[in-house]
């Protein structure tokens, strides 16, 4: 099976049915809209609901803030005490889901095989292991700050919602390895940007114990991004 899309009987465009499409367009003249004001009406509804002020949820209070841990947590969290926990929870959820996504990519590799310049099974297994190690690193970091690594923070929740489409592409048996890697590229780009955020938050607090392993993780994620970009380019025939 080709890794790229192939030519076929796609029926979605108006060119696939020119006469029916023209009939539809002519109908607009005879049957105008029954309400007016354009898309502005939609904005009004959105604003009205947003102003009700119901949040997605909250960051759980660290359960075990005592002694040195408490001091470290305060220092790391700085003026926004919950932001770091929220973002740590987000990365943890992302890396955990990322591990599962690479598992699915390995299945895809086994089903379709790779392509010239594409990843080997070992390449994908290595990235999966590194995603898993990042997950455990974040687990430890949250525990050290007195947080609960099993809790879903608001940012973790929203990143799950945002990443839903990526997962849907990768686990769909109809998509090829290349198509799945293109979806994974979105995840890796986001992952890199978010590790930068985490490091900056930790650096502001001067907490080297947290910063150093995070910087290492960030470097590894940069390697993942470079690899996925290279694989995608090779699959698309771009040198």
Partner 1 sequence: MALDLLKDKGVPLEQQRFTWRELVQPPFSKLDDDAFTRVRVILMNGIESEALRFGHACARMNGDLQRALARVRRVEQHQQTLVNWLNPADQSPLETTIGFEQVAIEVTASVAESEPDPYLAQVYRFGLLEDFDHMYRYAALMDRVEGKDANTIVQSYSDILPGRPTSLEHRDPIDDLRNPYDRTQAALLTKLNALTIMAGEHQTHDYYMTVGPTFADPIARQLYAEIASIEEQHVTQYESIIDTKETWLEKWLLHEATEVYNYYSCVEYEGNPRIKRIWERFLEYELGHLRFVADLFENTEKRDAASVLSTSVPQPIRYESHRDFVRQVLRTEVNLSAAGANFVDRSQETQHTQNYRNHMNSEGSPSDAVAASYIWTPGTELAAPARSRR
List residues binding partner 1 (CB under 8 A).
49, 52, 54-58, 93, 96-101, 104, 132, 135, 139, 149-154, 157-158, 160-161, 164, 167-169, 171-173
Instruction: State which residue, 62 or 211, has the beta carbon closest to partner 1.
Output: 62
Q: Whole-number minimum distance, CB 19 to partner 1, in Å?
A: 32
- Residue 160: in which H helix or E strand, if any? helix 154-171
Here the tokens at position 193 are 């940007």
11/45 with CB nearer partner 1: 45
Task: Name the residue nearer to partner 1 (CB basis): 87 or 96.
Answer: 96
- b/e code 142-156 from CB counts within 10 Å (16+ = b): bebbbbbbeebbbbb
Alpha-carbon gap, residue 206 to 222, rounded angstroms: 23
Q: Least distance (Å) from partner 1 to the CB of residue 207? A: 23
Residue 41 CB, nearest approach to partner 1 (Å)? 13
What minimum distance in Å lies between the beta carbon of 144 and partner 1? 15
**Separation between Cα atoms, residue 185 and residue 227, nearest integer Å:** 10
Give the helix/strand (H/E) hosting 196: helix 177-204
The smaller minimum CB distance to partner 1, of residues 94 and 115, is found at 94
């Amino acid at each position: 099976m080709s890794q790229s899309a192939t030519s076929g009987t796609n029926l979605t465009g108006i060119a696939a049915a020119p006469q029916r499409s023209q009939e539809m367009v002519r109908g607009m003249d005879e049957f105008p809209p029954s309400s007016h004001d354009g898309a502005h009406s939609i904005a009004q509804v959105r604003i009205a609901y947003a102003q009700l002020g119901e949040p997605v949820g909250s960051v759980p209070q660290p359960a075990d803030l005592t002694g040195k841990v408490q001091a470290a947590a305060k220092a790391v969290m700085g003026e926004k005490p919950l932001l770091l926990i929220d973002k740590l929870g987000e990365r943890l959820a992302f890396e955990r889901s990322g591990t599962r996504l690479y598992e699915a990519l390995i299945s895809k590799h086994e089903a379709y095989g790779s392509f010239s310049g594409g990843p080997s099974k070992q390449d994908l297994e290595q990235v999966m292991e590194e995603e898993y190690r990042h997950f455990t690193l974040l687990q430890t970091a949250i525990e050290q700050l007195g947080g609960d690594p099993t809790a879903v923070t608001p940012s973790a929740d929203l990143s799950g919602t945002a990443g839903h489409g990526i997962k849907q592409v990768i686990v769909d048996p109809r998509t090829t390895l290349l198509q799945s890697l293109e979806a994974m590229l979105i995840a890796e780009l986001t992952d890199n940007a978010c590790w930068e955020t985490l490091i900056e938050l930790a650096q502001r607090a001067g907490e080297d114990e947290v910063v150093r392993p995070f910087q290492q993780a960030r470097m590894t994620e940069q390697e993942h991004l470079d690899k996925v970009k290279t694989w995608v380019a090779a699959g698309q025939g771009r040198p």
